[in-house]
């Protein structure tokens, strides 16, 4: 007797938006490989915000924002082209490591939407409030709490407006949001309580360069990272390691710039979705 697979939980008015730039186009095949592996029923299309290049996958719509003027300016211009009330935000160098528990995600998303919320952090922040012990989400009231971009659901128009009002990089934007929270000027921001712990599991694989945890993760999944494009320098905090990394910063920017120009000239700016797998030894 055949059984029908259960339908994925309904996530109305929610799409995934990946915040990126052409400098990190070498991360796209890896990011989407793990996204579609661990979240096969992800709401599509997925929106990739970047500069001039595009990604070759029918499940992905590339939103080109043009030249970098600031991180916030690019995000504001990109979100204006995402036709969704809410966006699940990812950064391109944070790879999913476990299957997305979609039912639990829906259980967090629906109260956010029902309360007309503007953001919820998808990492546990604190216990549930005393007046609502079983709550999965709760309003941010503690000035020490903050909003970030590693994994969270934002109201698209709210985040677009917030980014359009400033010219900041991503780290200063998070600091700007902290100031808004402390000043009581951030509306309807929520945290995910410990009742919903462990919703999203991911790993930061690069910080400009490859990190050891990232190298270990992709190799454990039989994927060969391109270390010519983005090296794996010494990881310590000694003088030698810092010196090597300072030199390689310029190298990475140069290689990325040359690759972007090559793709625009030879391949209409399209980045292949092919992933380089490690060949098995005979």
Q: Does the pLDDT value for residue 237 go beyond 90? A: no
How many Cβ atoms are within 10 Å of 174's Cβ, its own excluded? Answer: 15
Evaluate if residue 143 carries a pLDDT over 80: no
Q: Are 44 and 59 in contact (CB under 8 A)?
A: yes
For residue range 56-96, what is the model confidence (pLDDT) as tens digits? 999 999 999 999 889 999 999 999 999 999 999 999 999 99
Strand stretches in the chain, DSSP E = 14-19, 46-50, 54-55, 60-64, 86-91, 94-96, 119-126, 137-139, 151-155, 189-193, 202-204, 206-207, 209-210, 270-271
Mean pLDDT, residues 252-280:
92
- The predicted structure's pLDDT at residue 6: 52
Cα separation, 194 vs 31, in Å, equals 27
The string of pLDDT tens digits covering residues 19-52 is 999 999 999 999 999 999 999 999 999 999 999 9
Q: What is the pLDDT of residue 145?
A: 62
Whether residue 125 is predicted with pLDDT greater than 90 in this model: the reply is no
Class of domain 10-282: alpha beta
The confidence band for 8, taking pLDDT boundaries of 50, 70 and 90, is low
Mean pLDDT within 149-158: 90
- Provide the token pair at 69: 């003027």
What is the rounded CA–CA span in Å between residue 178 and residue 171?
11
Task: Collapse the DSSP code of 202 into the 3-class scheme (helix H, G, I; strand E, B; otherwise coil) and give the result.
Answer: strand
Q: pTM of this prediction?
A: 0.92
Report the alpha-carbon distance of residue 277 to residue 274 in Å, rounded. 9
pLDDT tens-digit series, residues 93-111: 999 999 999 999 999 999 9
Domain ranges of the chain: 10-282
Q: How many CA atoms are closer than 13 Å to the CA of 149, on its beta-carbon side?
A: 23
């Amino acid at each position: 007797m055949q059984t029908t697979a259960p339908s994925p939980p309904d996530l109305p008015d929610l799409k995934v938006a990946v915040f990126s730039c052409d400098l990190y186009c070498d991360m796209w095949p890896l990011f989407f490989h793990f996204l579609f592996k661990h979240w096969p029923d992800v709401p599509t299309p997925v929106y990739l915000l970047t500069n001039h290049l595009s990604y070759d996958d029918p499940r992905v719509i590339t939103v080109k924002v043009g030249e970098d003027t600031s991180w916030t300016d690019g995000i504001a211009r990109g979100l204006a082209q995402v036709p969704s009330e809410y966006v699940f935000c990812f950064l391109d160098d944070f790879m999913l490591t476990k299957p997305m528990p979609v039912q639990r995600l829906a259980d967090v998303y629906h109260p956010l939407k029902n309360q007309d919320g503007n953001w919820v952090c998808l990492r546990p922040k604190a216990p549930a409030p005393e007046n609502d012990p079983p709550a999965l989400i709760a309003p941010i009231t503690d000035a020490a709490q903050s909003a970030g971009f590693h994994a969270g659901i934002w109201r698209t128009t709210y985040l677009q407006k917030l980014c359009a009002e400033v010219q900041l990089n991503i780290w200063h934007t998070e600091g700007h949001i902290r100031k808004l929270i402390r000043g009581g000027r951030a509306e309807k921001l929520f945290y995910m309580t410990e009742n919903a712990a462990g919703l999203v599991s991911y790993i930061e694989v690069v910080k400009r360069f490859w990190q050891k945890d990232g190298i270990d993760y992709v190799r454990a999944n039989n994927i060969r990272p391109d270390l010519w494009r983005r090296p794996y320098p010494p990881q310590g905090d000694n003088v030698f390691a810092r010196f090597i990394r300072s030199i390689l910063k310029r190298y990475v920017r140069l290689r990325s710039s040359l690759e972007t120009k090559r793709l625009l000239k030879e391949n209409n700016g399209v980045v292949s979705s092919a992933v380089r797998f490690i060949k098995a030894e005979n």
